[in-house]
Amino acid sequence: MDFSIARRLMVEQQIVRRGVKDPRVIQAMLRVPRHLFVEEALWSQAYSDFPLPIGERQTISQPFMVAYMTEALQLTGTEKVLEIGTGSGYQAAVLAQLASRVYSVERLAELARRARRTLDQLACRNVNIKLSDGTIGWEDEAPFDGIMVTAGAPDIPSEYLDQLAIGGRLVIPVGNRTSQVLKRVIRVGLDRFSEENLLDCRFVPLVGQRGWKEEEV
């Protein structure tokens, strides 16, 4: 299988055709080898239009959703970005192409370890991974110009709002355990935020102190 051709078709058919326009996001999706972030047995499906399992009851998101959420952050290249839910590391690798620094929080040790190994293989040296409860963010490294949450939350944790820089963007799925609405929140002042709904989506639950409890999922 020629992965470069599969990647180009993925971008043309699943991403550009659905309205993603940012040329930097498109180039990042063309550069990052998605198949390396799943088991070898799934490589033939890595560029298909659906999520894939990565173990620990978690998934690597659908390619379109990765590109769409990334575009929603409106990155120019100088930003400091927080990702909640490292998972396979694929989203972090895409963000690493577009931001100055990426801080990613993962609660599951095995996923964090595998993601770090793959990111190192790809020389993504501007990605830092922390094993922690992602629902409380990463206070020591705040403020962030962008925060991306890759799991569905019952509501927006106040910690994310507190850790967002003025002018910064938060992209987060909010809803119940089976369906959510993707929201973008912009911090327009010290205590002022604007919020918009982007699209309906479905993510694994955000588990932790400010999210769903382990026994609820």
- Round the average pLDDT of the chain to a whole number and report it: 96
The active-site residue out of 61, 88, 104, 132 is 61
- Give the type of residue at 75: L
pLDDT per residue as tens digits for the range 57-107? 899 999 999 999 999 999 999 999 999 999 999 999 999 999 999 999 999
pLDDT at 6: 97
**Residue owning tokens 């051709």:** 5
Q: Is 61 a catalytic residue?
A: yes
Q: Are 157 and 134 in contact (CB under 8 A)?
A: no
- Give the type of residue at 196: E
CATH numbers and ranges of domains, the chain? 51-216 (3.40.50.150)
pLDDT per residue as tens digits for the range 169-209? 999 999 999 899 999 999 999 999 999 999 999 999 999 99
Question: Crossing angle for the helix pair 23-31 and 63-72, nearest 10 degrees?
Answer: 140
Entry field: residues in the chain? 217
- Give the type of residue at 5: I
Q: Per the omega criterion (within 30 degrees of 0), is the bond before 143 cis?
A: yes
